[in-house]
Amino acid sequence: MSARGDAMSTPGASPRGRVRRAASSGRDLLVAAAGLAVLVVLPFVFSSPLLLDFMIRLAAFAIYATSLNILIGYGGMVSFGHGMFFGAGAYSFALLMQKTGVSIPVAIVGSVAYCAVLALVVGVICVRLKEIYFSFLTLAFQMLVHSVIISWVTLTGGDQGLTGGIPRPPFLGIDLGEPRPMYWFAATVAVLCLLAMRHLMQSPFGYTLRMVRDNAERAQFLGIQVARIRLAAFVIAGCFGGIGGMLMALFVSGAFPEFAYWTTSGEAVFMILMGGAARFLGPATGAVMLLLLSDLITRFTEFHGIVLGVTVLVFALVFRRGVTDFIAQALGRSRAA
């Protein structure tokens, strides 16, 4: 997103550097503000409740897919098990609201904390492994979480899911029981989360992560603690993935084992594929595309799998890149984010 022109800086021109960095920070903020403004105004222009529902689901998945791309796109760590955080976030938030009397903000914090701990435990074990084994182990852990959800019937409702709805006590004057406030809440959370993840990826940490992705050994020779960086990325991705799950739980007023199933992980990977892994907003774009595609398909045919499968094949074998990559190329910026 930040413009990196071909004009190079003269060495030592630090005031210019500061201005350029502030400019790119400011740009992100501006885009976020503009996006939020559009989102806030949306219900006044289009009053369809279906649209609001779609946007809330989009908010959840945009956060979730972008968080996975921290691992895949920025970190080079292909996790097959990211759904475990979507599920963990949903269940922990829903359970906190159902079983304890806390307010929504407190439950959010609790849910994020839970995902952080889960990510820490799983990450410590996983990040040391190479490639395919990392992928397998993350998948194994996700299915383990899924297994626990299914078998701990007294806590989670087993394969029926968590029923009984989620209490929504108003907080700070916001009543999430009403559709429009719920939508505005989801939109704001999404914009804030995307902005936060953007900031992290444009920070020194984000660039260290890219170094680790491009050449982990070299990064080590430069004194970087590769495993720690990867673990930090894993925890960050897990937390934001959990926030996506939390929004979903609010949306469906419950939590279901499918949230932690490997098909949820697969959906995020599809979003990243179709939207593009190399640009920051790629996964979010992919989320829009996949949700639209899914909704469209189910309207016309029950054979959702064939259409989706063929689409994925086309992107994987023919295009070999996502929509935002095409756009970036067209605009003459063939840089990786």
Partner 1 sequence: MSAAGGGAAVPMLRVERLRKSFGGVAATADVSIDFPAGSLTAIIGPNGAGKTTFFNLVAGSIKPDSGRVVLDGEDIVGCSSADIAAKGIGRAFQVARLFASLSVEESLMAALMSPAGRSADMAHRFPLHETRQRAGVVMEQLGLQGKAATLSGNLSHGDQKLLDVALALVLEPKVLMLDEPTAGMGPEERHQMIETVHRLWREGGLTLVFIEHDMDIVFRIAETINVLSYGRLLARGTPDEIRNNPEVIEAYLGPQAEEHA
Partner 2 sequence: MDPSALASCFASLSCVVTQTTSGLIIGALLFLVAAGLTLIFGVLGVVNFTHGSFYMLGAYFAYSAYVASGSFALAIAAGALGVAAFGLVFERVFMRRVYGSDVLMQLLVCYAFILILDDVVKMVWGPEFKSMGVPDAFRMPPVSVAGGVVPAFYLFLIGATAVIALALWVVLVKTRLGKVVRAAAINPQMTSALGVNTGAIYGAVFAVGSLLAGLAGALAAPVRSVAPGMGFSILIESFIVTVIGGMGSVSGALVGALLIGLVRSFGSIGFPLFVEGIMFLAMAVILVVKPSGLLGREAAR
Question: From CA 213, how far away is CA 4, in angstroms rounded?
Answer: 21
Residue 140's binding partner among partner 1, partner 2, none (Cβ under 5 to 8 angstroms by kind) is: partner 2
Query: What's the distance, CA 270 to chain centroid?
Result: 13
Give yes or no for residue 220 binding partner 1 (CB under 8 A).
yes
Query: Which residue intervals of 152-225 are DSSP H helices?
Result: 153-156, 179-201, 204-214, 216-221
Return the axis-axis angle of helices 262-275 and 323-330, rounded to nearest 10°: 10
> 18, 27, 180, 320: which one contacts partner 1 (CB under 8 A)?
18
Residue 109's binding partner among partner 2, partner 1, none (Cβ under 5 to 8 angstroms by kind) is: none
Q: Tell me which residues in 161-200 interact with partner 1 (CB under 8 A).
A: 199-200
CB 21 → partner 1: shortest distance, Å? 4
Indicate the residue among 180 and 228 with the shorter CB distance to partner 1.
Answer: 228
* Cα angle for residues 123, 127, 131 (degrees, 5° grid): 135
Give yes or no for residue 77 binding partner 1 (CB under 8 A).
no
Indicate the residue among 38 and 222 with the shorter CB distance to partner 1.
Answer: 222
Give yes or no for residue 78 binding partner 2 (CB under 8 A).
yes
Neighbours of 335 (CB within 10 A): 10
> Among candidates 35, 9, 70, 112, which has minimal Cα distance to 209?
70
Give yes or no for residue 234 binding partner 2 (CB under 8 A).
no
Q: Tell me which residues in 193-212 interact with partner 1 (CB under 8 A).
A: 199-200, 202-208, 210-211
Kindly state the number of chain residues that form the binding site for partner 2, as judged by CB under 8 A: 42
Q: What is the dihedral of CA 175, 179, 184, 187, to 10 degrees?
A: 130
**323-to-103, 284, 286 alpha-carbon distances in Å:** 40, 11, 8
Indicate the residue among 131 and 295 with the shorter CB distance to partner 2.
Answer: 131
CB 146 → partner 1: shortest distance, Å? 31
DSSP secondary structure letters along 84-138: HHHHHHHHHHHHHHHHS---HHHHHHHHHHHHHHHHHHHHHHHTTS-HHHHHHHH
Indicate the residue among 130 and 299 with the shorter CB distance to partner 2.
Answer: 130
The region that residue 176 occupies, defined by phi over 0 for left and psi between -120 and 50 for alpha, beta otherwise, is alpha
68 touches 269 (CB < 8 A): yes
With CB under 8 A as the contact rule, which of the stretches 100-108, 148-156, 205-213, 221-229 interacts with partner 2? 148-156
Indicate the residue among 317 and 330 with the shorter CB distance to partner 2.
Answer: 317
Indicate the residue among 189 and 231 with the shorter CB distance to partner 1.
Answer: 231
Give yes or no for residue 269 binding partner 2 (CB under 8 A).
yes
| Burial grade of 119 (CB within 10 A; 0-12, 13-18, 19 or more) | buried
Give yes or no for residue 229 binding partner 1 (CB under 8 A).
yes
Read off the amino acid at residue 76.
G
Q: Which residues bind partner 2 (CB under 8 A)?
A: 72, 78, 80, 125, 128-133, 135-137, 139-141, 143-144, 146-148, 150-151, 153, 158, 262, 266, 269-270, 273, 303-306, 308-310, 312-313, 315-317
Q: Which residues bind partner 1 (CB under 8 A)?
A: 4-14, 17-18, 21-22, 24-25, 199-200, 202-208, 210-211, 213-215, 217-226, 228-229, 232, 335-336
